[in-house]
Structure formats: structure tokens, C-alpha cells
Amino acid sequence: MSLLLDEIALATARLAEAGVPSPRTDAEEIAAFVHGVRRGELHTVKDSEFDALFWEGIARREAREPLQHITGRAYFRYLSLEVGPGVFVPRPETEVVVGWAIDRLREMDVASPTVVDLGTGSGVIALSIAQEVALARVHAVEIDPEAYGWAKRNISELGQGRVTLHPEDLAEALGELDGRVDLVISNPPYIPPGAIPRHPEVRDYDPALALYGSGADGLDQVRAVERTARRLLRPGGFVVVEHADVQGSAVYLIFREENGWRDVRVQQDLTRRDRFVTARFGQE
């Protein structure tokens, strides 16, 4: 066994003791980052090339700093994008939300669907849709200056001219598109004020603006998304909104039939937990 693989085994034990959920994977990802190889190529690193910076990365992860802050990149569906302090790190459960939206867009009888991502953060949702839906025209909205900077960087690198970034408030965005949008998607802040996320990576490192909603139930931003989606969508267009696993019923009730919403559904993620609400606006 090589020196690096020995060190990875020791690092895995340290990370497991610190409560890191995926200690082996994270130790290997840090090793691959430090040595400039893929995880599957770690066996090719010679003992003479072992870099002690590996242990600096392990110490940071042991302190529960997000892996993505250490490596500077996050992986989401088919994308690798830049993230770091000041922007929300995309989570695997959101991949299911985006997958639902992509499936609906592909089913539409629309040659070049128009999509709006409200509160884009790193730009990951907008970029995934642009990459996977041919000819989609995607508008990404982000008001927070730090998150906007990360989105601008990722869209410049990966957007291929098909994602337009707007520095606007999601509650008032894109009036020029009123009634012309095929799908609105959002992962807005929804944690109630005073609630404390249980994972240190979220609690201590994700920006508060991306986590904590306003209002007693934390859902005022979701209500803003509902109003904006109602304004933007064409008849028959869809809205997709992510929420916490305990908020499905509350978010369902926000999309009221008297406001024109049809086919409102609480959808589940791969762990069978309520994760997002979908609805169709008006009649086609």
C-alpha cells in the first residue's frame, strides 16, 4: 500500500471520530484535490510526491468546514462549479427538485422554453437546466452581492451564453417577462427565525441570507416566490419550490386555487421526505 493510501486510512478514522457523515469519501476528495488527480487515480501518487497539505485539509474538515470550501468546488448533477464562503453549497436533495423541472420542460411543446430561477445562489439550478434542456433560455435572479459574485463567475464559465444573471430582488424581478415564462423554480431561504440547523457545515458556514426565511414560519420568501411566479408564468406554466421536509403542508397551502393554481402537489426526495411543491398556473 502506498504512503498516501495509508494516510487516507488514518484520515478517515479522524474524520469519522469528528462525526463527518462520509469520512472515507471526504478524505479521498481532499487527497485528490491536493495532489491534482481524480479519486480513482490516487493509487498512482508516488510516496515521494506525498504532500503534507493533505493534513491541513483534513484538519479543516475535521473542524466541520464544508468539503466544498476546502476544494473550492461542488458537484451537482453533471456540473462542477466554484463555491466558497458567502454562497450556499448546493445539496444532493436539490438534484431531485431540478430533475423534476427538467422533465417537465422536456415534455413541453415549446421550442425554446423560458425559465426563471429565483434566488440562484451559485447559479447551480439555472446552469443545470441550461445544460440539460436544449434551447432553454434561463434567467437567474440573485440580490445578495456575495452570492451574485459566485453566480457571475460560474455562469461566465459554464453558461455558454444561455443563462442571464439579474441583480434583482426575487419579489420584484423581471417585470419585462410577465406572463411569458414557462417555468419558475426556486430554492429560497425557509428556515424559521430562531431555528438552528443541526449540521455544523450548514449552521456555521452557509450564509444566513440563504438559510433563514422571514415571518414566524420562515416562509415569507416562499410567499414572495408564489406572487412572483403568478405574475411571470404564462397560462399552463409550472412553479417548483423547495422547502424543508416538515413544511410540505404549509407550502402546499400557499399555492391557493383562488389565485389560479392547479395540480398543486407536495413532492418527495429520494429519502421519501417531503422536499418541494409543484403547481401549474391557470389553464392552457
- The tens place of each residue's pLDDT in the chain, 284 residues long, gives 578 888 899 999 999 999 999 999 999 999 999 999 988 888 888 887 888 889 999 999 999 999 999 999 999 999 999 999 999 999 999 999 999 999 999 999 898 999 999 999 999 999 999 999 989 999 999 999 999 999 999 999 997 788 999 999 999 999 999 999 999 999 999 988 877 788 899 988 999 889 988 898 999 999 999 999 999 999 999 999 999 989 999 999 999 999 999 999 999 998 899 999 999 998 65
Which residues lie closer than 8 Å to 36 by C-beta, 6 or more apart?
none
| Burial degree of 209 (CB within 10 A; 0-12, 13-18, 19+) | middle
Q: Give catalytic status of residue 88 as yes or no.
A: yes
Q: List residues bridging with 278 in a β-sheet.
A: 240, 265
3-state secondary structure of 133: coil
pLDDT tens-digit readout, 26-55? 999 999 999 999 888 888 888 878 888 899
Contact 5, 45 (CB under 8 A): no
* CATH architecture, range 75-81+85-281: 3-Layer(aba) Sandwich (3.40)
188 annotated as ligand-binding = yes
Q: Among residues 33, 76, 88, 238, which one is catalytic?
A: 88
Q: Determine the pLDDT at residue 1.
A: 55
Q: In this predicted structure, what is the pLDDT of residue 102? A: 97
- What's residue 43's pLDDT? 85
Catalytic residue among 23, 66, 113, 188: 188
Instruction: Report how far residue 121's alpha carbon sits from residue 88's, in angstroms, rounded to the nearest whole number.
Output: 6
Q: Which region holds residue 64: left if phi is over 0, alpha if psi is between -120 and 50, else beta? A: left
Query: What distance lies between CA 197 and its chain's CA centroid?
Result: 17
Longest dimension (CA), the chain: 69
* Ranges of each domain in the chain: 3-63, 75-81+85-281
Quickly list DSSP for 203-225: HHHS-HHHHB--STTS-HHHHHH
Active-site residue 167, yes or no? no
